[in-house]
Structure 1
Amino acid sequence: MEPATSALIFLLASATFLLSAWLIYSSGGSTRPRETQRSTAAPSPPSPPARPVIGHLHLLSGPGLLHHKLARLADRFGPILALRAGSRRILIVSDPAPARECFTTHDRAFASRPRTAASRILGNDFLAMPWAPYGPLWRELRKIATLELFSLRRLHLQSPFRDIETAALVTRLARVEPGSAVRVKDQLLHTVMRLVLRMVGGGRDDGGGFADPETTRELMELVETAFFYSGVPVLSDYFPFLKWVDLKGTQKAMREIVGRINALARSWIEERRKMGSTGAGDDHVDFMDVLVSMADNEKIDCLKGLTQERKDLVVYSLLEAVVFAAIDTSALSLEWLMAELLNQPRLLQKVQEEIESKVGSQWRVEEKDIEELPYLQAIVKETLRLHPAGPLLVPHESTEDCVVAGFHVPAGTQLIVNAWKIHRDPKYWLHPLRFEPERFLGPEGSAVDVDLKGQHFQFIPFGSGRRACPGAHLALSLLHLAAARLLHAFEWRLPNSENNGSVMDMSEGHGLTCPKAVPLEALLLPKSPAKLYF
């Protein structure tokens, strides 16, 4: 975000007179942004000193990661504070108590999404489920995705896909030339992509007829590029009347990306039309069948009255949202998990001993075994605590005035919850900066029942409320099985560990999903269980 934001501020400095005039006009003669009619005497949240025109944009620019900057602001001004970025109001929440209010008491009020250049362009004019405003369209799309792909019944039916793709991951890694370092995320990304395409395409070996190697490579490129641009600010996000300004060609690049993505989705749907359904019965109808049915009739309420072009965009957007949502974040979490274990060989040995004692060396790790591996479960939880895939939850926007933690929040305020800060708060976590899986174990070494899906607000890696991640069950199933099999099949080493025993760089990189700044590379030595997965 930082380079684009710095350039944004530079451009604003050269247009101060124009912007000031617009603010004066839009606020009825005042240089303060218009406030909605207050229905309460509650005060406004604390706010740092702002600058004319740009508000607090200067606090968000420059080097460093945005969630780190917001965490430092919370330390100075409190766990709930108001910022202004141009004409946009922003509420920053960095504590479980106000987060609970936002996602329970005021869940409906905060169920919408802010309108940004990224959500407009990458979201196909706000038709994509992650970006769509709260309303009938979003509710129906969410229902379709949940029932047809992310329900517990579907999760059970997809178990063979997870088995096949995680076994294929072990096989690929076992065939790497001895002594060659493996870039872990690349392998994980390939596996997660193959799994998601199997789920969408009915489990066929080629992902349902549309996942040839060239397409897979293109998808990997598009996923990473789309995630990057999702977090890039655009001038019109803060000053809507400057929509015509395309700073550094960002909007043009977004349009090119979404054009390629839509073309890919269109080709998949047309391919499925030619191939026909995967089979009879609800258990054999895959997500592509559902999408083709949506595209070809108006039985879905959200499509009624739309032009054919808009109908197609709704269908493409739903497919893209499902495919893209699971890919980068799951691979990222697995990379952080293995990096933390490699940084602490004692923990690595402990979890491998647990797997060996429960599964042995003559059997593959299966999903049913995960319940008997409490230390592995604790490691997954601790990874998601210390390295949430989205350090800042996807922004929400209030559609009505409300009071949060005793402060007045006007309608139209963007809500950003800093999960990274909450997960590292010493008020709720002992030694919060340490990777200590034991915090999730009971006195007898059993797993502690800590909800990961938005009910324990000191721990919200998948968000909470109506807009919580619908794929949380899938992500957790994949994380546990893939981690268990990788730990079962290989001895893991850092390439330089025998030379100086140095600790790897664990700094975070830039991006919407907070990747490792330095990708993990490791040496994998196959153990005897590796052959069980071939």
Structure 2
Amino acid sequence: MAEKYGPIFTIKMGVYRALVVSSWETAKECFTTHDKAFSGRPKTLASELLTYDGAMMGFSPYGPYLAVKVRKITTVELLSNYRLEKLKDVRESEVRAFLKELYKLWDDNRGGASKSKGNMVLVEMKRWFGDLTLNIVLRTIVGQTVGYITNVEDEESVKGWKKGLKDFFHWTGVFSVSDALPFLRFLDLGGHGKAMKKTAKELDLAVEDWLQEHKRKRAAGIVKGKEDFMDLMLDVFDNDAEAVQGGDSDTINKATSLALILAAQTRQQ
């Protein structure tokens, strides 16, 4: 189509018009000279149902909320060199716990069927490293861990929530008919809307529990040795009402915390 219509042209996608760019020179101009014009994000069924109606970073409309407030809070309170160094012991303690659980798994199973193979135990390291990464991120963001799955009971206890993380990436990448033809949304063709609502509910239940636990501890005056990111967000919103930008502070806290957890999970997809 580029040979016929040139390096830049538009096409209709349902009721919307989409811009197609096929040359690097034009693409560079779009994201440099006209970067603000291309910084907006279309509102889709997934962004509405899975990201607290666009409150999550990466799905928020471009503006003061995304460009200044939340990004600044995240950069300063979580990703700064000072903060990363302060949380160094979290990473170290989780690595120690990881090695301890791995050794325990070997010690508990080396006398079984694997004994004839020199006391070796078969271990799915991809899952173990995935749990290690997730535990470090969870402790940093919400002060929680999911532990390390060593038996069926452990797996069942976190299966639903971890599946929700995977389903999030699946549904945000799915094209729904209602994204192109909004007037057909009520039909929920393909059942995408129903499935997205289920995934959103699973994730929100977990994040809501963590948020309420943080609030209960703060109300009880429990002083923690090291505050996690959710604690810091609560402090920011308590001390700076303008940071909410007219939104709900709890929703922004949950959306931002969940976005950071999901961002870490993309490394394992």
8 A Cα contact 1:46 1:82, kept in partner: no
2:193 alignment partner, one of 222, 235, 251: 251
In structure 2, distance between residues paired with 1:226 and 1:166: 27
Which residue, 159, 166, 180 being the options, matches 2:88?
159
Contact 2:236 2:243 in 1 (8 A): no
Q: Distance in 1 between matches of 2:191 and 2:55?
A: 23
Q: Once the two structures are aligned, what percentage of the paired residues are identical?
A: 30
Contact 1:235 1:245 in 2 (8 A): no
Pair 151,179 (structure 1): closer, same or farther in 2 beyond 3 Å = same
Q: Could you tell me how far apart the structure 1 residues matched to 2:16 and 2:97 are?
A: 47
**8 Å Cα contact 1:269-1:291 kept in structure 2:** no
- d(CA) in 1 for partners of 2:246, 2:126: 44
Higher mean C-alpha displacement, 120-129 vs 184-193: 184-193
SS at match of 1:233: coil
Aligned position for 2:256: 318
Q: Give the count of matched residue pairs.
A: 246
CA 1:263–1:143 in 2, change beyond 3 Å: closer, same or farther? same
**What does residue range 340-489 of structure 1 map to in structure 2 within 5 Å?**
none
294 and 262 in structure 1: CA distance in 2 versus 1, 3 angstrom threshold = farther
Structure richer in helix, relative to its length: 2
**How far does residue 318 in structure 1 lie from its aligned partner after superposition?**
1.3
How does 1:189-268 map onto structure 2 within 5 Å?
189-202=130-143, 206-207=144-145, 211=146, 216-268=158-210
Secondary structure at 1:89 match in 2: strand
Task: Determine if the alignment matches structure 1 residue 121 to structure 2 residue 18.
Answer: no
Q: Distance in 2 between matches of 1:154 and 1:95?
A: 41
- Separation in structure 2 between the aligned mates of residue 144 and residue 218 of structure 1, nearest angstrom: 30
User: Quick one: distance in 1 between partners of 2:97 and 2:215?
Assistant: 29
Instruction: Please show how residues 14-93 of structure 1 align to structure 2 within 5 Å.
Output: 46=2, 82-91=10-19
SS at match of 2:36: coil
How many Å separate the matches in 2 of 1:170 and 1:95?
Answer: 50
Q: 1:48/1:302 Cα in 2 relative to 1: closer, same or farther (>3 Å)?
A: farther
**Structure 1 residue 287: Cα displacement:** 0.8
Distance 2:51 2:212 in 1: 21
Distance 1:286 1:235, change over 3 A: same
Counterpart in the other structure of 2:268: 331
Contact persistence 1:291–1:315 (CA under 8 A): yes
Contact 1:48 1:83 in 2 (8 A): no
Contact 1:47-1:81 within 8 A present in 2 as well: no
**Unmatched segments (≥5 aa) in structure 1:** 1-44, 50-76, 333-534
Task: Give 1:292's aligned residue.
Answer: 234
Task: Tell me, in whole angstroms, the C-alpha distance in 2 between the residues paired with 1:215 and 1:273.
Answer: 24
Q: Deviations 1:312-334 (Å, cap 9, x if unpaired)? A: 3222211211111112x2224xx
1:103 aligned partner? 31
Q: Secondary structure at the match of 1:90?
A: strand
TM-score, normalised to structure 2, is 0.76
The residue that corresponds to 2:126 in the other structure is 185
Shift of 1:298: 7.0
Q: Structure 1 residue 237: deviation in Å?
A: 0.7
Q: Quickly say closer, same or farther: Cα 1:166–1:100, change in 2 above 3 A.
A: farther
Equivalent residue of 1:112, what SS?
A: coil
Q: Classify the secondary structure of the residue corresponding to 1:105.
A: coil
Question: Offset at 1:122?
Answer: 0.5
Query: What amino acid does structure 2 have at the position aligned with 1:321?
Result: A
Q: Tell me the alpha carbon deviations over residues 375-396 of structure 1, each in whole angstroms, 9 at most, x when there is no partner.
A: xxxxxxxxxxxxxxxxxxxxxx
Change in Cα spacing, 1:95 to 1:279, as seen in structure 2 (3 Å) is farther
Are the aligned partners of 1:102 and 1:110 in contact in 2 as well (CA < 8 Å)? yes
1:154 positional shift: 1.8
> Which has the greater radius of gyration?
1
Does the C-alpha gap of structure 1 residues 85 and 157 become closer, same or farther in structure 2, counting only changes over 3 Å?
Answer: same
Q: Secondary structure at the match of 1:319?
A: helix
Change (3 A) 1:269 1:133: same
Query: Match of 1:487?
Result: none
Matched AA of 1:125: D
CA contact (8 A) 2:165 2:203 kept: no
Contiguous gaps of at least 5 residues in structure 2: 111-118, 148-153
